[in-house]
Amino acid sequence: MGVVMRDYLRLFIGGKDIRRTFFHITFDVLALFCSFVMAIVLYGKTSSIGSFDGLLVIGVSVLAALCVLVLSKFYRIIVRYITGRAVIPASGAMLVSSLVAYFLSVFLDSGILFPEIFSYALFGFMSILGFRYIYRDIIFRKSVKDEIRVVIYGAGEAGRQFLNSLNSATKYSAIAFVDDELELQGHSVSGVKVFDPKSMVWLVKQFNVDVVALVIPSISPVRRREILNDLESLDAEIRVVPGLVDLMSKSIETSDAKPISVYDILGRVPVPPRPDLISRSVKGKIVMVTGAGGSIGSEICRQIVRNQPLMLILFDLSEYSLYSIDQELDRYCSETNSKIDIIPILGSVMDRLKVLSILKQFKVHTLFHAAAYKHVPLVEQNIAEGVKNNVFGTRAVVEASVEAGVRIVTVISTDKAVRPTNIMGASKRMAEFVCSSLVGDHQTKISMVRFGNVLGSSGSVVPHFEKQILRGGPVTVTHPEITRYFMTVKEAAQLVMQASSMALGGEVYLLDMGDPVKIVDLAISMIKLHGKTPFIVDVSNAPCPAEHVPIVFTGLKQGEKIYEELLVNNDAKTTQHPLIMSAVEVGPDRVTITKYLKLLEKACSDNNVEDIKEILTISGTGLNHDGNIIDYSLRKKI
């Protein structure tokens, strides 16, 4: 019976620890009683305390305040996390209590007048709230060693929410706000002074600031990049709260301040998609994705299910990758009540008969071919397998699609296919030739999509740098002049889907990705924004100072280019999307490509690396692998 009663009390009063809750209630009752007595003594009405009517007024008033506190769930507030919002239930309780005291005193003629009641309300309010704030700030905060000192950049609503979260966490101490808004500078927000951003260096040095938190969720990527440039020189770690869209559904917490990401460093504004183009080739359609478990393929799948296909077929050789994306999409469909058939199928893209069987069985309308070997050093060490998967896997998928009557086929390519210096790029260029040769008098629209480095994809340089920085270095960069184009994985997937909607057959699509990024500059920015100092190790071999993070140039890897390109020539044209371009690049005709593929297939089967290189070179891919002269002994067979 005692357990049942305790459960009912917990449900009604609130709080998991019922003993702690009763302690707080007992304290409040005594505090309110003493507050009323103190107010009466203050005005010399001691006779009222000893009378029955006076004690009745005090007792009923305290009980009324207690009822309001319970009903307003005041006792569910954990003292450690108490914020300014606790003022509302406390004010309501004292208002109701003082009104009850006044009307009851008038009714009983107890002699307790308005001044005493008003003073009681003030004393009571300060006692029940003051105890809790003192308990939080002294018992919790002052007992914590090694507090993390934080400056909050942004004194708006988001910054104030973040301050409340800091105040409720024992290990953080808010030193100051900084804000560009002139009207705020010099004033205090929630008890914390607002400074001009020009004072940032002084603040960090004067107060030994550990972290600067950029809490302006509505800021543009370009403006965020400008602010981060100003903060790079500070001897403090920089953290960024995500964008406004990500925080719309919740209050801002300390955990929302994340380490600097490459998205913040690049300051690049993602290219917005056109919803009509995104959905045109997938909505209500039967869609298949090869390489569905990969970093690009999985994001394409996520974008597809958001646009309501009739069915989505996931095709991948990796059991784990296929299982992971299948489970993720199943959860999404359950949570959104989407009626989409998700069908995972294990298999290789080089198995033409299996691919053909699947396409015919499910009557696939749209196919995205994302299966490929894309890691340059790995393909260099496994040339035959890389070529077989990238070239002959693509041929099997596209030929099967044409035979099965698939309406739209979009093949993922890469900027490394343009004037390639590595086997991976040359194999993808040859795959583009295969696709172009298969464009013809049939209902299948075949197109290709090229893009640069994808942020967040497997093998991306950014998480690699992140791990190296956290280890204290060295951060390894292959060449001081190496540059790359970057785009987000979401942009890449949306580009693929929009291109599929615009394709007529034979086009190569690419995204206007802005200016390329120098990789060493990216490394320097990442180091600085982790609160550390970069040190470039040059030929002089000067020793790296303590607590610096060294940057070491390791030399270009085999087949690696200093600059990447997106087009073979400059004949790109605009499309329905202003930032998506298309080009038609002429390759060998179908008869010639067939001859090259026959030779290439034998060379791969024999694992004859030299013949593979020669065929890729003379076929027109533009391969310039290692600068060696090839005798082109296979030319006579063409």
**Residue 604 CB burial class (10 angstroms; 0-12, 13-18, ≥19):** buried
The 8-class DSSP code of residue 589 comes to -
**Per-residue confidence band for 137, with pLDDT thresholds at 50, 70 and 90:** low
- Decide if 368 contacts 289 (C-beta within 8 A): yes
Tell me what pLDDT residue 606 has.
93
pLDDT over 70, % of the chain: 81
Pairing type for strands 148-153 and 211-214 reads parallel
**Per-residue confidence band for 53, with pLDDT thresholds at 50, 70 and 90:** confident
**Per-residue confidence band for 391, with pLDDT thresholds at 50, 70 and 90:** very high
**pLDDT tens digit sequence for 319-366:** 999 999 999 999 999 999 988 999 999 999 999 999 999 999 999 999
Average pLDDT over residues 526-548: 75
**Per-residue confidence band for 600, with pLDDT thresholds at 50, 70 and 90:** very high
Tell me what pLDDT residue 268 has.
59
Tell me what pLDDT residue 470 has.
82
List the one residue out of 623, 489, 488, 475 whose CA is nearest residue 561: 623
- Decide if 509 contacts 368 (C-beta within 8 A): no
Q: Over 90: is that where the pLDDT of 288 sits?
A: yes
The span from the CA of 625 to the CA of 386, in Å, is 15
**Per-residue confidence band for 301, with pLDDT thresholds at 50, 70 and 90:** very high
Q: Over 60: is that where the pLDDT of 544 sits?
A: yes
Tell me what pLDDT residue 468 has.
86
Average pLDDT over residues 579-596: 85
List the one residue out of 221, 310, 224 whose CA is nearest residue 272: 221
**Per-residue confidence band for 236, with pLDDT thresholds at 50, 70 and 90:** confident
Model confidence, pTM: 0.63
- Decide if 147 contacts 171 (C-beta within 8 A): yes
The span from the CA of 473 to the CA of 518, in Å, is 19
Tell me what pLDDT residue 175 has.
84
**Per-residue confidence band for 618, with pLDDT thresholds at 50, 70 and 90:** confident
**Per-residue confidence band for 566, with pLDDT thresholds at 50, 70 and 90:** low
- Dihedral Cα 376, 378, 381, 386, nearest 10 deg: -80
Rg (CA), the chain: 34
The span from the CA of 212 to the CA of 233, in Å, is 12
Q: Is 251 or 73 the better-scoring residue by pLDDT? A: 73
List the one residue out of 56, 133, 125 whose CA is nearest residue 92: 125
Q: Is 62 or 627 the better-scoring residue by pLDDT? A: 62
List the one residue out of 308, 286, 312, 402 whose CA is nearest residue 355: 402
The 8-class DSSP code of residue 183 comes to T
